[in-house]
Amino acid sequence: MAKISVFGLGYVGCVGVGCLAKLGHHVIGYDVDANKVNRISKGLPTIVERDVDDLMMDGFNVGRIKATTSTEEAVAQSDISFVCVGTPNAPDGRLNISYLLSAVQMIGKTLRAKSTFHIVVIRSTVPPGTNDIVSTTIEKISGKKAGINFAVVSNPEFLREGMAVSDFLNPPLTVIGSEDKRALKMMHEIYEPLVSEIVEVSPKVAEIIKFVNNSYHALKVTFGNEIGAICKKLNIDSHQVMDLFCRDDQLNISSYYFKPGFAYGGSCLPKDLKGLNFLAQSHQLEVPVLSSIDLSNELHIHRALDRVQQIGVRSVGIVGLTFKAGTDDLRNSAAIQLAEAILGKGCTLRIYDRFLNIAQEKETNLRELNENIPHLLPFLEKNVEDVVAKTKLVIITVRNPEIPDLIRKYPHVHFLDLVRLKDQSVESLPNYEGFCW
What are the tens digits of pLDDT across the range 35-68? 999 999 999 999 999 999 999 999 999 999 999 9
What are the tens digits of pLDDT across the range 296-355? 999 999 999 999 999 999 999 999 999 888 888 888 999 999 999 999 999 999 999 998
| Residue 268 β-bridge partners | none
Question: How many CB atoms within 10 Å of residue 381?
Answer: 19
Question: How many CB atoms within 10 Å of residue 139?
Answer: 16
pLDDT tier at 359, thresholds 50, 70, 90: confident
- Based on the residue annotation, tell me whether 84 is a catalytic residue of this protein: no
What are the tens digits of pLDDT across the range 236-255? 999 999 999 999 999 999 98
What are the tens digits of pLDDT across the range 196-225? 999 999 999 999 999 999 999 999 989 999
Residue 362 above 80 pLDDT? no
pLDDT tier at 367, thresholds 50, 70, 90: confident
What is the percent of the chain where pLDDT is above 90?
Answer: 86
H/E stretch holding 126 reads: none
Confirm whether pTM is higher than 0.75: yes
Torsion angle in degrees (nearest 10) through CA of 255, 261, 262, 264: 0
Of the listed 19, 231, 246, 268, which one is catalytic? 268
What single string gives the DSSP state of each residue in 51-78? THHHHHHHHHHTT-EEEES-HHHHHHT-
What are the tens digits of pLDDT across the range 370-410? 888 999 999 999 999 999 999 999 999 999 999 999 999 99
Q: Which of 115, 73, 79, 122 is nearest to 101 (CA)?
A: 122
